[in-house]
Amino acid sequence: MFDKILIANRGEVAVRIIRAAHELGVKTVVVYSEADRDSLAVKLSDEAVCIGPAPSAKSYLVIPNIIGAAQITGAQAIHPGYGFLSESAEFARACADNDITFIGPSPEAIEQLGDKANAKATMARFGVPTVPGSDGAVATAEDAARFAAEVGYPVLIKASAGGGGKGMRVAESAEELEKMFVAAKTEAANAFGNDEVYLEKYLSHPRHVEVQVLADSCGNAMHLCERDCSIQRRHQKLLEEAPSPALDEQTRQAMGEAALRAVRGVGYVNAGTIEFLLDTDGRFYFMEMNTRVQVEHPVSEMITGSDIIKEQLRIAAGEPISIAHRAPLSPGCHAIEFRINAEDPAKGFMPCPGTITRFDVPGGPGVRVDTHIRAGYKVPPTYDSLLAKLIVWGDTRAEAVARGKRALSEFVIEGVATTIPFHQAVLENEVFLSGEVYTDFIETQMNGGTL
């Protein structure tokens, strides 16, 4: 195991990684911007290095500053967390070039899976189900029209460099296709500097179900069941649960096996997530693979009794996954994560930076709070608005829901508006309680989130 690692992140995930490292007897260095000087991560870490001013383009995204901080402190490995440089092949390569272990997959894997058209074509070769479409980039509007005629309208044009919903266009008919093709290409060029697009049959009312995977360099690959992340607004997830209320045991097993074919096929090592769309007939299709640890990883930890961050450290150190002997895992309980953001649901989830004057966290059985916030904390306007993740679990979904209601009512945050009232409304919603949630749930069942 490493003696010392550096954490190239901030907020709750920096704290989460420090805790895992300390439990493994690994010392930590955290890098921080001037805005995060008084953060909990800086307080809990053995060492801390300031790497620049508040804007992330001048601190958390500056590769030479982070590599330099690792070198001067003697950190042997870097955990990138999520966001920032976590899916930068360039950063993973810079680590390798400086004899620092990147706690994540290889730069080649990040590159290969970061290109969505390529990732999809690769997965299809390994027998992972994919949405019918172009299975690779489409160069011209004529080619697009040919694929669209084959699979039938409506179709979705997606950017190869996209992901998370950016650069997508729906074409309802042949008449619309050329216009949407050009629009998607233009948007992709502007957003990503890469105008490559591919085409898929558009699925109506899908669910977003993703499988957490772990693979080590000793030949073990396993999955930690699935998460249902259908409750999103404008591609921002707000509530995630595990297992998915939409899967029967047979589909769960088939999805897990498909995820493992993907992992073994690409020779993937470390933690990752295979995203699937689940259609209304219970068929699932590969969407994207995320090559980082995700915000919602705790729900998988709670239903499988695992520690994904510790496993990431073991894997990066060349050790086997400690729970490999328990595979295949099945869900041991039901967990729900609520993202508590400094956002005002009444104002279209507008970010609300400001000073937290009171912060009383819930506790008791089946409750976990991952946060970097304390009373008196000033939420900077510079970064994402995630204040805390409330994770609850119980033997059944109903028990997890009851715990969620109880814990949300105990949670007191004053000084800024938060998403707590939104989550309380979700837990009273009959459609949510029935488990029939689709990616348009907030729009169609919750008035867009405006309470």
CB of 436 to ligand MV4, least distance (A): 16
DSSP letters for 225-239: EEEEEEEEETTEEEE
301's tokens: 């930890």
CB of 238 to ligand MV4, least distance (A): 11
**β-strand partners of 48:** 30
378-379 and 412-414 strand pairing: unpaired
Residue 268 or 285: the one with the smaller Cβ distance to ligand MV4 is 285
* 292 counts as catalytic: yes
Rounded distance between C-alpha atoms, residue 107 and residue 103, angstroms: 11
Residues forming contacts to ligand MV4 in the complex (CB under 6 A) are 131, 156, 163-165, 200-203, 206, 208, 232, 235, 277, 287-288, 439
* Crossing angle between the packed helical segments 89-97 and 63-73, to the nearest 10 degrees: 30
Residue 152 or 165: the one with the smaller Cβ distance to ligand MV4 is 165
Rounded distance between C-alpha atoms, residue 58 and residue 35, angstroms: 12
Contact assessment for residue 304 and residue 225, using Cβ atoms and an 8 Å cutoff: yes
b/e per residue 350-381 (b: at least 16 CB within 10 A) = ebbeeebeebebbeeebbbbbbbbeeebebee
Q: Residue 181: which H helix or E strand, with range? A: helix 174-192
Q: Which of 396, 286, 386, 271 is nearest to 332 (CA)?
A: 396
Residue 64 or 164: the one with the smaller Cβ distance to ligand MV4 is 164
- Of 292, 314, 339, 403, the catalytic one is 292
CB of 164 to ligand MV4, least distance (A): 6
CB of 198 to ligand MV4, least distance (A): 10
**Chain residue whose CB lies nearest ligand MV4:** 439
Residue 40 or 203: the one with the smaller Cβ distance to ligand MV4 is 203
334-341 and 386-394 strand pairing: antiparallel
**β-strand partners of 344:** 350
CB of 186 to ligand MV4, least distance (A): 19
CB of 285 to ligand MV4, least distance (A): 7
Rounded distance between C-alpha atoms, residue 298 and residue 350, angstroms: 26
Residue 45 or 134: the one with the smaller Cβ distance to ligand MV4 is 134
Residue 131 or 400: the one with the smaller Cβ distance to ligand MV4 is 131
Question: What residues are annotated to the active site?
Answer: 292
